[in-house]
Structure 1
Amino acid sequence: MTMTTKMKTLLLSGIALAAMTTGSFAADVTLKLGHPANEDNTWHLASVKFAEEVASLTDGRVEVQVYPNETLGKEMDVINGMQLGTADLTITGESLQNWAPMAALLAVPYGYKSLEDMDSQASGDLGARIEAQIVETVGIRPITYFARGPRNLTSNRPITTPDDLNGLKMRVPNVPLFLNVWKALGANPTPMAFSEVFTSLQNGTIEAQENPLALIKSANFNEVQKYINKTEHVRSWIYLAISEMSWEKLSEEDQVAVMKAASRAQAFEREAFMTEEAELVTELEGKGVEFVEVDSEAFAAAAKEAVLSSVADDIKPDVEALFNR
């Protein structure tokens, strides 16, 4: 059974269990959870797991209704709805820096050396300070976080050190931080819409691009790129968050239950995420792509000054502290 099939099975069983748990009587509180992922995505499956656990742990007093595929609106729309009281929960990350500057720390290039290192920061003092600022300035409360697949560089020649980039024409998102970092590393980055990347790689307008493995596979970049260089230059996490207005409607007992449900959803999502990442490597290798180990320390050292000069002054000391560990 493939991971996708397993996920669908878990999803259906989760919905069925949640329906059995809450269907016999009306919930005291109904919470709407809107997010951008599709039904096969681990974030959606974890959201369904969360809803199932909330129903079980509150004996049906609290019901979570999950709306995938931007059904409740795009990310910013849902966040605005959470501030106004028309939405209750969402999955969101560094976009929150529009209100809370520290949210930019969720996705700092070369800020986190490994998944374990990221976990220690997200669940430690840094994560606590980020979450506190989000509560204070946005009016929404992170209750757990999910890992995101690290971004990797694809190309048609192996890249192991910054010296190997040497003017490499590559696509980056239209984010000044990304542009500045790749220029500092020696590449020739250009902003481009994601929808144009495959054709541009195919006709040679660009020679490389960078994205997580899931997007590399779904976009079929393996058809026009020979190597996936394990730069893992951006490791990041994303929050499952609840509106403060909705949080305050819950009794203390149900708040404890919601936090426990969030913890269980995180464990569920992490297992699914790790399995999916391993399967993506196997599938992409099966399609003829070669994975290349890189000198991560050399990349981080070359990127440091560009990162520091590109981030907001509010978070510069925290970014510097990440680099200097």
Structure 2
Amino acid sequence: MPSKLAKTLAISVAATFISGAAMAADVTLKLGHVANEQNSWHMASVKFGEELAKLTDGRIETEIFPNESLGKEIDLINGMQLGTVDMTITGESLQNWAPKAALLAVPYAYKSIEHMDEVASGEIGDQIKAQIIEKVQIRPIAYFARGPRNLTSNRPITSPDELNGLKMRVPNVPLFVDVWAALGAQPTPMAFSEVFTSLQNGTIDGQENPLALIRSASFNEVQSNVNMTQHVRSWIYLTISELTWNKLSEEDQEAVMKAAAVAQAYERDLFEKSIADDRAYLEEHGMTFTEVDGDAFAAKAKDAVLANVNDEIKPIVEKLFEH
């Protein structure tokens, strides 16, 4: 049962479309996710609920539980397998069950957002979705782009040769550690909460994250440069439990997919605006944006990436690097 907090955080987005207070929805979908109410994923979830209510004349209501109020990401996936949660937003964590889900966030695999879209909506994307449905028993119905990760520092860095052993914080992910070591940096795994102080006192000289996190963590106060390495482009899925999906009529399944397509387009618009807003904010607050030689970074990172990906996706990653 959701806690009192979860109930207060739950946001019903169907009521607006139900005429007459006495009418109740036939189906209520519980959508739990980890982001806050200001996040574009949350706003897209609300949009999904609104669209689905419209398309089904209020028969299907969506209750949204942000801020991990229904549980952490893995708890939500487990809940969907058990039938206690209907929907969530999840990504490469699914590789615990479906190895191809690792393709959602491989360093330097996607040269541009257009290339990523081509993969996510094409044959490789179809293979990933099919494996997730088969192995995890949850169904991806839309995908949202995530802000590319960029390297910050106190000097411009345009090529891997200029890293010169830069001491930098990375998440505690072997792939990230090995890739940055191969590029010529000195990567140090560290909790995100320690990064600002470590940059401030000079324990480390740089870190890498999407612009939204660089902004929200106020790294502009302790770093002068954003080097546009864009080394990880990735996406994340809006998903529905197969148990829930199979209970829906074909007509309602179609409505779910239509609502998901609207939510995906809406989120992309929000995403593009947020990238532009975050860059403008960081520039206004003293950060300089530096273009880098992306091909040089990718070429130097390739062997370390291939050494870290699972055997099932290695041939696909090799082809992506040739793109």
State the AA in 1 paired with 2:17. T
Alignment match, 1:273: 271
Q: Tell me the equivalent position of 2:80.
A: 82
Count of residues paired in the alignment: 311
Distance in 1 of aligned mates of 2:80 and 2:165: 45
* Residues in 1 aligned to 2:18 and 2:232: alpha-carbon distance in whole angstroms: 40
Matches for 1:8-47 after TM superposition, within 5 Å? 18-22=14-18, 24=20, 25-47=23-45
Q: Which residue of 1 aligns with 2:53?
A: 55
Whichever residue aligns with residue 40 of structure 1, its letter is: Q
Contact in 2 for aligned 1:22/1:63 (Cα 8 Å): no
Equivalent residues of 1:33, 1:67 under 8 A apart: yes
Q: Distance in 2 between matches of 1:150 and 1:23?
A: 43
SS in 2 for 1:249: coil
CA distance in 2, matches of 1:203, 1:16: 46
Query: Deviation of residue 114 (structure 1)?
Result: 0.6
TM-score by length of 2: 0.95
Listed as ranges, the matches of 1:296-311 within 5 Å are: 296-311=294-309
Which letter maps to 1:214?
A
1:154 equivalenced with 2:152 (yes/no): yes
Deviation of residue 23 (structure 1)? 6.1
CA RMSD of aligned residues (A): 1.0
Question: TM-score with structure 1 length normalisation?
Answer: 0.94
Measured in 2, the distance between the counterparts of 1:251 and 1:265 equals: 21
Deviation at 1:17, TM superposition (A): 6.9
User: Out of 114, 124, 139, which is 2:112 matched to?
Assistant: 114
Q: Which runs of 5+ in 2 are unaligned?
A: 1-10
Cα deviation for residue 42 of structure 1 reads 0.4
SS in 2 for 1:63: strand
Render the CA deviation track for 1:210-244: whole Å, top value 9, x for unaligned. 00000000000000000000000000000000000
The answer for the alignment partner of 1:207 in structure 2 is: 205
**2:315 is the alignment partner of 1:317:** yes
Deviations 1:46-77 (A, max 9, x none): 00000000000011111111110011000000
CA–CA distance in structure 2, aligned partners of residues 102 and 17 of structure 1: 33
Aligned match of 2:7: none
Gaps of 5+ in 1: 1-14
Q: Identity over the aligned pairs, expressed in percent?
A: 71
Residue of structure 2 in register with 1:259 after alignment: 257
The 8 Å contact of residues 152 and 213 in structure 1, kept in 2 or not, is answered as yes
SS in structure 1 of the partner of residue 14 of structure 2: helix
Which runs of structure 2 are paired with 1:190-205 in the superposition (5 Å)? 190-205=188-203
- Bigger drift between 155-164 and 24-33 goes to 24-33
1:286 matched to which residue of 2?
284
Equivalent pair of 2:31/2:87 in contact (CA under 8 Å) = yes
Quote the Cα distance in structure 1 between the aligned partners of 2:92 and 2:19: 36
Once the two structures are TM-superposed, the CA of residue 18 in structure 1 deviates from its matched residue by 3.1
Offset, 1:22: 3.0
Query: Which residue of the other structure, out of 156, 162, 166, is the alignment partner of 1:168?
Result: 166
Cα distance between partner residues in 2 of 1:196 and 1:286: 25
Deviation at 1:324, TM superposition (A): 1.5
Distance 2:65 2:56 in 1: 21
Q: Cα distance, 1:141 vs. partner?
A: 0.1
C-alpha contact (below 8 Å) 1:152/1:210 kept by paired residues: yes
1:92 aligns with 2:90: yes
| Matched residue SS, 1:43 | helix
Distance in 2 between residues matched to 1:293 and 1:29, nearest whole Å: 50
Write the letter of the residue equivalent to 1:20: T
